Chain A
Amino acid sequence: MSRDAIVAQNLTYQYGSLLAVDHITFSVAEGEILGFLGPNGAGKTTTVKMLTGQLKPKSGHAVLLGLDIVRNTKKVQGKIGVCFEDSNLYEQMSAVENLQLFARLFGVRSFNPYPLLRRVGLTGREKDRVETYSKGMKQRLMVARALVNRPRILFLDEPTEGLDPTSAKSIRNLILKVRERGATILLTTHDMMEADELSDRVAFIDHGKIVALDTPHNLKQQYGRRALKVTTSNPSGELEDHEVVMDTPQTPNAIHELFSKEDVVTVHSEEATLGDIFIKLTGRGLIGPKPATGRPAKRRSGR
């Protein structure tokens, strides 16, 4: 059984009178990808800041790679990589110079930035100033920077936010490759598809508390609802939609009835998305601080 790379016990943080993180407890095993999901202001970033030593918890403690983050901040920071949501690169320096600077700070001996830049698709632009890069290129360089020290734990805060599909895909592939070599990844995201695709487990965080933590499959099993979307054609040629809820005693009869009496045109299976489950658990969506009134902005249409 693998050891835990991250153990958070009753982590709490308060900004003045606002309780941003409220006694949260969770652990992440070595080599695991944990998706950290929640709307803006839910406490995701504050939790990550405490785990990476940027903020000192008001109470509780966190142990990373067997070291208490408060007592061994710099030791832990030498073994982790952090990719921030907003670009914070040295814009007047090139990609190579940015990576070389951080390699020196981490004490990486004989660092060669070129293979890493190739992995993030920046070959050919390595020596250009970062200020000339597109948003996607900057984001890829941010990920590369977080990998300079071959971190054992990688914190990624919205790594694909605002990127075009190609850039987002290349970053997702990179994350999976990093996991392949055994790194633990804590991925903060709004993107349900991304979390579903990449995460071994996901944690839903709302109002500073973890409201659910499990594998995407188990969460869907536990909180979701499977259904069949059936489109039929009536005698006058008009299309009608039907929904058959799965996993109930009436399901076989309902399906049989549809297929025997109606002219079935298409059949799609529909599964609850993580976004649906989040709304079910919290009563609000993942985008924006206010409770969602409609459907979640990013959801799957079915499989």
Chain B
Amino acid sequence: MSVRIVTALVAKDLSLFFRNKFFGLITILGIVAYIVIYFVMPSSVNETLQIGLYAEVVPPAFQQVAEEGIVFETFESEDALIEAVTEGQYAAGVALPPDILDLLASGEKPQITIYSAADTPEEVTDAVEIIIRELAYLQAGQPLAVDISVEVLGPDMLGQQIPIRDRMRPLLAVFLVMFEMIGLASLITEEVQQGTGRALLVTPMRVRDLFAAKGVVGVGLAFVPAALFMAIVGGLSSQPLIILTALLLGSVLVTGFAFLIASLSRDMMSALGWGMIIVIIFIIPAFGILFPSTVSAWAKVIPSYYLADTVHQASAFSAGWGDVWLNLLILVGFDVAVIWAGIIALRRKFR
């Protein structure tokens, strides 16, 4: 392999990439837009559940619960409470009967109404109902005859929940890595379509020089924007080496897929079409991080899962090499397989 030739080809490809207004603009705008999105998103998580309350007499138990992450905001009338809940100002509203204390003391069941807006998740309504029952027990002096202990599985994030923007970091980084796959595939497709590849092949350049150059360009175009993004949004403040390694392996992966896409494409539009299909599939695991429990275990068959999960584990939970080594190993396996398949498939076009 000739370093001189590979360097010349890399310089040429980068020059052509950024002269293509579409890809050049999308790359730069992509980084800027994702950084803006990150900083616009809330930087903290509000862990307090705010509940509207209408009661002529507020039972003492209801006044004490604020310390436990539940805040009752009192209203002058039941109508005002209903209006506030309807407008979405509160997750739910509770209306207590005027004689609640007497009824609780006499052991009778008071009628308590919980108001919730139409779009309030069922889990929230259920949680509020449980809170009210607990408070009623407390007020009646008959606590539940059980001791409840809470076991936190994994890092205890109580009081330090991951803000939505930090959950989005892996998604945005993975998106930046993935998008460059389409750019590289288009670049290669154009090389074949315009016949410039044929002109290169009658020079001292070897096919392996060509693939090396395309590989360097592909990995560079995918890795640099993603690493830059992570650095700017503070994603490298924890376990930077692991995150950069994962992004690098992810960049190799998308380069292999770019080779495969280019081998299937006849022009830029078909490269875009194939590329978008793969990008959509590859983004799924990253959405699983943003919205936990929305993605099933089958997402693990998608290679990008191991990239997104590693970046998330390392940046959000400071996971070490011991925690992510298997992810990285699987990613290396995918890299080798996909690059090999991509080169085999694409070689046909340069013969």
Q: Which residues of A contact B (CB under 8 A)?
A: 52-54, 74, 77-78, 80, 82, 84, 86-93, 97, 101-102, 104-107, 145
Contact = CB atoms under 8 A, between A and B. Distances in A.
5 closest Cβ pairs, A-B complex: A88-B195, A104-B8, A105-B203, A78-B204, A82-B202
Given A80-B202, A105-B200, 8 more contacts: A52-B202, A77-B202, A90-B194, A92-B20, A93-B15, A102-B199, A105-B5, A105-B205
B12 interface: yes
A54 B198 contact: yes
B37 interface: no
A106 B202 contact: no
Contact of A107 (B4, B15, B194, B199): B4
Given A77-B203, A145-B199, A88 B194 contact: yes
Contacts of B20: 92
A106 B12 contact: no
A77 B199 CA distance: 11
22 contacts: A52-B202, A53-B202, A54-B201, A77-B202, A78-B203, A80-B202, A82-B202, A84-B195, A84-B198, A84-B199, A88-B199, A89-B194, A89-B196, A92-B19, A93-B12, A93-B16, A101-B8, A105-B5, A105-B8, A105-B200, A106-B203, A107-B204
Given A86-B195, A89-B196, A92-B16, A104 B202 contact: no
B13 to A, nearest CB: 10
Nearest to B200: A105
B349 interface: no
Interface of B: 4-5, 7-9, 12, 15-16, 19-20, 194-196, 198-206
Nearest to A129: B19
A34 B206 CA distance: 29
A105 B204 contact: yes
Contacts of A80: 202
B179 to A, nearest CB: 20
Contacts of A84: 195, 198-199
A105 B199 CA distance: 11
A256 B277 CA distance: 85
Contacts of A90: 12, 16, 194, 196
Contact of B204 (A74, A86, A92): A74
Contacts of B15: 93, 97
A174 to B, nearest CB: 19
Contacts of B16: 90, 92-93
A295 B6 CA distance: 52
B200 A91 contact: no
B198 to A, nearest CB: 6
A145 to B, nearest CB: 7
A76 to B, nearest CB: 10
B110 to A, nearest CB: 78
Contacts of A105: 5, 8-9, 200, 203-205
A88 B204 contact: no
Contacts of A91: 194
B206 A74 contact: yes
Contacts of A97: 15
Nearest to B201: A54
A104 B12 CA distance: 11
A53 B204 CA distance: 11
Contacts of B5: 104-105
Contacts of B205: 105
Contacts of A52: 202
A107 B209 CA distance: 14
Contacts of A77: 202-204
A168 to B, nearest CB: 22
A102 B4 CA distance: 12
A106 B16 CA distance: 20
A146 B195 CA distance: 15
A87 B201 CA distance: 15
Nearest to A104: B8
B268 to A, nearest CB: 13
Q: Which of A77, A91, A105, A145 has the most CB of B within 10 A?
A: A105
Nearest to B191: A90
Contacts of B206: 74
A92 B199 CA distance: 16
Contacts of B199: 82, 84, 88-89, 102, 145
Contacts of A106: 203-204
Nearest to B5: A105
A52 B15 CA distance: 29
Contact of A101 (B12, B195, B204): B12
A14 B20 CA distance: 40
A52 B19 CA distance: 32
